[in-house]
Chain A
Amino acid sequence: MTKMLTQFIEQENCHTLDFYLKNGGYNQAKRAILEMSADEIIEIAKQSNLRGRGGAGFPAGMKWSFIPRDIDKPKYLISNADEGEPGTFKDRVLLSKNPHQMFDGMIIAAKAIDCHLAFVYIRGEFKKEAEILENAIAEAKEKNILGKRIFGSDFDFDIVVHRGAGAYICGEETALIESIEGKRGQPRIKPPFPAIEGYLQCPTVVNNVETFAALPPIFENGAQWFVDLGVENSAGTKLFSISGHVKNPGVFEVPMGTPLHDLIYNDEFCGGMKDDIPLKSVIPGGSSSPILTAKEIDGLTMDYDAIQKAGSMLGSGAVIVMNETTDMVQVCYNLARFYAHESCGQCTPCREGTAWLIKILKRFTSGGARQEDIELLLDITDNIGGLVDFSQGSFGKTICPFGEAVSWPVRALVEKFLPEFEKRVQEK
């Protein structure tokens, strides 16, 4: 099976520059800087149909093409390494085992948007990974891969590592930008989008770690190669971080369109359910994606379209597997509590609604739930994040997608596991 991101992670010193160079590293960055034009780079990225790996799945090449060319302002590139979505731990592997591949991709993207200073915004808890990045940058500077006139060209490019302070919301790109600017991390109202006014009101592109890391193989093997790896609308391979009640949780790189069943049950991956207790439900794309029942994941393949059709989303590729012993009311409370804790508090529905949700859910978990609370829970999720209807877009009522991120999973849990919630009412 083709791997392009994690093929070396088991090997010793795989994070070093020497190792990376020995395996053909930075050839594509060098080629992009010395031989390719911005248009050519963007064209390849578009043809490859590389979609953002952070969760939203926005085509990377398209994002770059929004950067205005003929303006006086500097342009900035940011690698979003604020991996905070519960269940997600894939970027951490790339950052610690293969940091140079991300830099490689960042250099390619920098050439595409004419950027000379980039940031890696890494979540505060990733102290060790931040050190690895710092060392990797120092190594690259020594070899003229970063810094002034890289690869002997007249192109300057530098990368700065910026550590966050642990807020989930700083993974949202505009909150991330605010945070880099030294402000309170809370999302900005859009428009203007970062491509027009991002970091310091300058055009800015924010891409996920995995997105950048996917670029060198694409440029090495060609866009079509990447498209052929996956399925329709979902090109390439994807990292899935699988956790929960499985025998062998971990990060697995597989082509888009791989059946979820294989990921959970094949010995190559998770090796089946832990203690062989049957599966009850799966969160397919990080905590903010609606939960899917055992029935719904029957025959499900892991690609954007298939998961959307099943009523959820691929998100960041964080699969949380739950077996039949799982208390879904507790799951719901736990998820909601996370979101209530992480809400930045800027807009009304999210600030007030998330706190209200956990107060009600607390009554479901520890007594005092009323029958009408079920209807109330659903109504509150509607009032924060809107109804889940992927065919018509989102109806969220908040500045950023956080509103949807809390509403969708809570709503899905209540609707799909209604009897469990109703049982708590009767228990009163």
Chain B
Amino acid sequence: MALILMDGKEIQIENGATVLSAAYRNGIEIPHYCFHPAMKIVGSCRMCLVEIDGMPKLQTSCSTKIGEALPNRKIDGKYDMVIQTQSEKVKKARKTTLEFLLLNHPLDCPVCDQAGECFLQDYTYEYGSSHSRFIEEKLVRPKEDFGSGIQHDPNRCIMCTRCIRFTREVSGTKELHKIERGNHNKIGIFEDKPLDNPLAGNVTDVCPVGAMLPKDSLHKERVWNYDVAETVCGVCARGCNTNVSYRENQIFRITPRRNMDINDWWMCDRGRYFHHEFETKNRIETPKCRQNSELISVSWEGVFNFVREDFARVRKEQKDNFSVGIVASPFLTNEELFTLSDLAHSLDATVYRFVDTKIGEKQEFPQGFKISDDFSPNSAGLDKIFTNADDVANLKKHSVLFVPSLVAGFEFSDSTVEQMKKAKLVIAIQDEKSAISDFANAILPAQNFYEKTGSIVNEDGWIQRMNPIGQSEKFRYNNWEIFLKLQNLLVGKSAQFSSVSEVFSNVIREKFGLEATFFGLKKEAIQMNGGK
């Protein structure tokens, strides 16, 4: 351990820690651009310079390591290093570095998507100058399309090279390079090799300024208008932590949220842009039931009455042949699966597992970021809650069938659909019209996975919390409530849960053998097999 004095504050820190990390861990901000904890230190932006006693030059805090000094070299007899992050020298260095960075910068914040979350903007307000001494002509270069939906603006670029290092060290694909020299140098690609890798979108997140922007959300909304849901991506079993930025129920962009146990700082482009799959006009917004082979919109009461009456009628007709089938989907949360399992149990139903979701390709990147081959978010939770579900390919003929939503990219096979059609009563809990809607007798509108709250289990057993974009008022019932309601309707009794956190506590205790609160899950994921 070393003892340092930073801005008059005594700090104990382990040998080998950098000045920058010592500062951040002790609530002292040192502005920086090129440093990113996932990448090699290059010390090139010169923004994080600090003054260290005994060193005539200002030092880059990102690269300067703290170590125990020899007894006779200690300052004031006890400090291994004395650092000032706010001295006049440091302030001037910051101010002039920002002045340099802004020389050729277009200062086009009013039309730049990064505005509001731009470190050039923030640091200039905090440490920079309000006027420019530069009267020369600025360097102007055209915007470029780098591929993978990424637009590069060299005029806004500050050459921190985070994006280059990302493609070299994290994605390992090496598409981006520094080209030209001196003031003309810029980020570039080779003509025949555009930015093309499953993690390409992350360069827009590592870029501290507006030089790399996703065309997908370009000029669509200002960042300060966004509401943000901290949630978990549902497109594969990895469960990357994400921030979903939305406004008035429309998702504009999805960005990764740091979680060192699961996704580090990253997410894949499939997860990033998957929300567009839900932007169809096929959304099911009201309950529907089939009368005289026509699907008509009805009220919730209407659909529940319809289900209850038809269910009773079918049971009466079928007598001994009466059987219920339920298809459980790994796109459902633990809470939904738990209330669904209650429903299945009380109806003595046969449970089938949704179509095979392992349709992807397992991918692992140089620093360990993974993409799962399982394109559903909660296979692990489903396996835990339904221990003996059969493959849906083996679907038998049932009198009544409960079918969940299909997600983009998945279809039931023709034979399964044919088998489903044989049921007398098909109750679909769906967010969008699909092949099932063509023959379902009743359709209950469901939430898709950006809209619901609940827990899912990733491929490594991490139990994480999904949070909705704020439109729950649009849905009268949460998916898990629909299953409870159906159970109450058809069997006459059900568990009494008043909130998703109550369901969570129960499912986690009964099916996972853990004690945990849903609120706690917001702060930190828990590991299914012990661990946190």
Contact = CB atoms under 8 A, between A and B. Distances in A.
Interface of A: 167, 184, 189, 340-349, 351-356, 359-360, 376, 383, 386, 392-399
Contact of B185 (A351, A398, A399): A351
A121 B184 CA distance: 26
A386 B58 CA distance: 10
B96 A356 contact: no
A221 B30 CA distance: 55
A383 B98 CA distance: 11
A340 B184 CA distance: 10
Interface in B149-173: 158-159
With most chain B CB atoms within 10 A of its CB, the pick from A343, A348, A394, A399 is A348
18 contacts: A167-B181, A189-B44, A189-B60, A341-B181, A341-B182, A344-B185, A347-B46, A351-B159, A353-B100, A354-B182, A354-B183, A355-B139, A356-B103, A356-B136, A394-B56, A395-B56, A396-B57, A397-B46
B42 A189 contact: yes
A336 B304 CA distance: 82
A167 B137 CA distance: 27
B181 A344 contact: yes
B61 interface: no
B56 A392 contact: yes
A173 B197 CA distance: 35
A167 B182 CA distance: 11
Contacts of B43: 189, 347, 399
A31 B174 CA distance: 49
Given A189-B63, A346-B159, A347-B44, 11 more contacts: A189-B43, A342-B181, A345-B178, A347-B45, A348-B47, A349-B97, A352-B183, A355-B182, A376-B133, A383-B99, A397-B58
B97 A395 contact: no
Nearest to A360: B136
B11 interface: no
A343 B63 contact: no
A398 B158 CA distance: 15
B183 A184 contact: no
A138 to B, nearest CB: 35
A314 B178 CA distance: 34
B49 interface: yes
Interface string B135-150: 0110100000000000
B101 interface: yes
B133 A395 contact: no
A341 B185 CA distance: 11
Interface string B179-218: 0111111000000000000000000000000000000000
Interface in B103-123: 103-104
Interface string B31-48: 000000000011111110
Given A354-B182, A360-B136, A383-B100, A349 B56 contact: no
A395 B184 CA distance: 26
Contacts of B92: 383
B332 interface: no
B134 interface: yes
Contact of B45 (A341, A343, A348, A360): A348
User: By CB atoms of chain A within 10 A, which of B49, B58, B100, B180 has the most?
Assistant: B100
Contacts of A346: 42, 44, 159
B240 interface: no
B57 A386 contact: yes
Contacts of A396: 57
Given A344-B182, A354-B183, A349 B57 contact: no
Nearest to B101: A348
B93 interface: yes
A33 to B, nearest CB: 38
A397 B49 CA distance: 8
Given A344-B182, A345-B181, A397-B46, A352 B103 contact: yes
A187 to B, nearest CB: 10
Nearest to A376: B133
Contacts of A397: 46, 49, 57-58, 93, 97
A386 B42 CA distance: 21
A349 B58 CA distance: 13
A191 B201 CA distance: 33
Nearest to A386: B57
B46 A398 contact: yes
Contacts of B99: 383
Contacts of A393: 56-57
Contacts of B46: 347-349, 397-398
Nearest to A356: B103
Contacts of B56: 392-395
Contacts of A354: 182-183
Nearest to A188: B42
A353 B42 CA distance: 19
Interface in B82-104: 92-93, 96-97, 99-101, 103-104
A166 to B, nearest CB: 11
B182 A359 contact: no
B44 A184 contact: no
A348 B44 contact: yes
A356 B139 CA distance: 11
A307 to B, nearest CB: 20
Report the 8 A-B pairs with minimum CB-CB distance, sorted nearest first.
A355-B183, A345-B185, A352-B100, A393-B56, A343-B182, A383-B96, A189-B43, A359-B136
B65 to A, nearest CB: 8
A354 to B, nearest CB: 7
B101 A352 contact: yes
A405 to B, nearest CB: 14
A17 B58 CA distance: 49
Contacts of B42: 189, 346
B101 A340 contact: no
Given A343-B183, A398-B46, A348 B100 contact: yes
A399 B180 CA distance: 19
A184 B44 CA distance: 15
A206 to B, nearest CB: 20
Nearest to B177: A184
A164 to B, nearest CB: 14
B458 to A, nearest CB: 36
A356 B46 CA distance: 17
A349 B181 CA distance: 14
Contact of A395 (B41, B57, B183): B57
A395 B55 CA distance: 9
Contacts of B133: 376
Contacts of A189: 41-44, 60, 63
B100 A184 contact: no
Nearest to B95: A383
B61 to A, nearest CB: 12
Contacts of B57: 386, 393-397
Nearest to B97: A348
Contacts of B158: 348
A184 B178 CA distance: 9
A356 B134 contact: yes
B45 A342 contact: no
Interface centre among B43, B137, B139 (most CB of A within 10 A): B43
B47 A340 contact: no
Interface in B2-51: 41-47, 49
A33 B139 CA distance: 57
Contact of B183 (A345, A376, A386, A398): A345
A167 B185 CA distance: 14
A115 B498 CA distance: 76
A12 B44 CA distance: 50
Contacts of B159: 345-346, 348, 351
Contacts of B63: 189
A148 to B, nearest CB: 37
A355 B46 CA distance: 17
Most B C-beta atoms less than 10 A away, residue of A341, A346, A354, A393: A346
